């Protein structure tokens, strides 16, 4: 019974606070807003909250890739808007098939990321300058492409718009819950056996079934609530799938391990034989591709693109989402799940204040305070790890 506190205390002493501050913040946000407005936890509002998470969360996943290197990407918002515009023009104006238009948008995002990565590694330009130039340049290209009409509407009943208006059947939703919980338990057991075989320290045997059971309860509660409204939205499933895939990639592939190594200490990684230039370029390619995917999801939700696509506070919210979720600004530490946790915090604050009719100025100040607190916790964690 005392194993869990001992494990947590040891991790905290090493500077590994994990997701506990974010989870605690989510609980506090839920209690406050549900007390002030009984509609906050209603099935309809929580379903809308799930829809709002997908686009920003997907862009934040890309931001996490460059933050793990200790770099920054200020162009993510502009890239998302530009690639969504390219997709919409190809589909609506040029008559491309919807899937081909989406692939074109993702390819455009990858090409932009490749350009950013080459400018960073070959020209030795700071990522701040590279992506700041990208923010302005890609926004200018977006405005140029939309100069005649300003807005292009997607077919209302088309495939792209249907992504945000598709809901999973109840049985399929429950099957996904069981599959995810079972897969998590299986992966945990296999990973534990592999570590034992390699003579590495392992977590207690009870941890895997307890965590998988907790995951099943949380996911089951979410499905039950959303099923009381329209059901589980496909957008949320797509975002969740991206989170799981990227987390597996970061933790169980050579690229993921090298990404953490370069972010932790680039010179040490180079001396260990890691191709630092290749890792940095791939990270920026992945970041811009995910920004493009976020733009596609945002266009699907609005059924249109316009001169404001990818603008407003999307970039700032994506960066805040990654940092609040637990990704270190100093590189080398973070998980893909940071996007899910961070976007839950950001969107819950936004949604709760909207229900209370709070002015947007207050929302920005509250979000800024939460972001500052997250960075402070990260700084304290690094100081603890150094000691």
- By CB atoms closer than 10 A (0-12, 13-18, 19+), residue 161 is buried
Domain limits for position 38: 19-386
Domain assignment present for residue 1? The answer is no
CATH number (domain holding residue 65) = 1.10.3470
pTM comes to 0.90
Residue 30, domain member (yes or no): yes
Give the ranges where 198-233 is alpha helix by DSSP (H): 207-227
Give me the pLDDT at residue 12, please: 46
Q: Please indicate, yes or no, if residue 273 is contained in any of the structural domains.
A: yes
In a domain, 371, yes or no: yes
Residue 7 lies in a domain: no
- Distance (Å, whole) CA 322 – CA 338: 6
For 221-261, write each residue's pLDDT tens digit: 888 988 888 888 999 899 989 998 999 899 889 999 999 99
Within a domain: residue 129?
Answer: yes
Task: Answer whether residue 314 is part of any domain.
Answer: yes
The pLDDT score that the predictor gives to residue 383 is 65
Average pLDDT of the segment spanning 302-318: 87
Burial group, residue 64, by CB count within 10 angstroms (0-12, 13-18, 19+): buried
User: pLDDT tens-digit profile of 100-135?
Assistant: 999 999 999 999 999 999 999 999 999 999 999 999
Cβ contact 63:334 at 8 Å: no
Find, among 288, 294, 286, the residue nearest to 310 by Cα. 294
Residue 282: per-residue pLDDT? 96
Report residue 234 CA to chain centroid gap: 16
13 found inside a domain: no
Query: Which residue has 């407003």 as its token pair?
Result: 312
Give 35-64 pLDDT, tens digit per residue. 888 888 888 888 888 888 899 999 999 999
Provide the domain count of the chain. 1
């Amino acid at each position: 019974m005392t194993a869990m506190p001992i494990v947590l205390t040891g991790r905290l002493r090493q500077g590994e606070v994990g997701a506990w501050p974010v989870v605690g913040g989510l609980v506090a946000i839920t209690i406050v807003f549900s007390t002030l407005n009984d509609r906050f936890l209603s099935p309809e509002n929580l379903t809308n909250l799930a829809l709002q998470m997908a686009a920003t969360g997907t862009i934040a996943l890309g931001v996490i890739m460059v933050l793990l290197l200790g770099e920054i990407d200020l162009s993510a918002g502009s890239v998302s808007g530009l690639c969504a515009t390219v997709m919409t023009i190809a589909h609506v104006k040029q008559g491309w098939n919807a899937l081909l238009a989406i692939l074109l948008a993702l390819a455009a995002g990858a090409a932009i990321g490749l350009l950013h990565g080459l400018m960073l590694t070959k020209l030795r330009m700071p990522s701040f300058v590279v992506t700041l130039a990208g923010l302005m340049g890609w926004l200018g290209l977006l405005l140029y492409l939309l100069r005649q009409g300003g807005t292009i509407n997607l077919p209302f009943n088309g495939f792209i718009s249907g992504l945000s208006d598709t809901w999973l059947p109840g049985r399929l939703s429950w099957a996904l819950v069981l599959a995810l919980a079972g897969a998590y338990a299986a992966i945990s057991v296999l990973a534990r056996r592999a570590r034992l075989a390699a003579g590495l320290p392992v977590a207690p045997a009870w941890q895997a079934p307890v965590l998988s059971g907790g995951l099943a309860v949380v996911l089951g509660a979410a499905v039950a609530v959303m099923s009381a409204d329209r059901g589980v939205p496909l957008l949320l499933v797509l975002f969740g799938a991206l989170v799981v895939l990227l987390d597996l990639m970061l933790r169980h592939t050579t690229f993921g391990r090298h990404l953490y190594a370069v972010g932790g200490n680039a010179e040490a990684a180079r001396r260990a034989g890691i191709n630092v230039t290749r890792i940095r370029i791939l990270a920026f390619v992945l970041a811009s591709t995910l920004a493009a995917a976020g733009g596609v999801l945002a266009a699907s939700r609005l059924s249109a693109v316009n001169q404001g696509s990818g603008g407003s506070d999307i970039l700032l919210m994506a960066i805040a989402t990654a940092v609040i979720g637990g990704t270190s600004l100093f590189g080398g530490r973070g998980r893909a799940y940071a996007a899910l946790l961070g976007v839950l915090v950001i969107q819950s604050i936004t949604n709760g204040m909207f229900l209370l009719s709070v002015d947007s100025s207050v929302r920005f100040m509250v979000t800024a305070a939460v972001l500052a607190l997250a960075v402070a916790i990260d700084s304290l964690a690094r100081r603890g790890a150094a000691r």
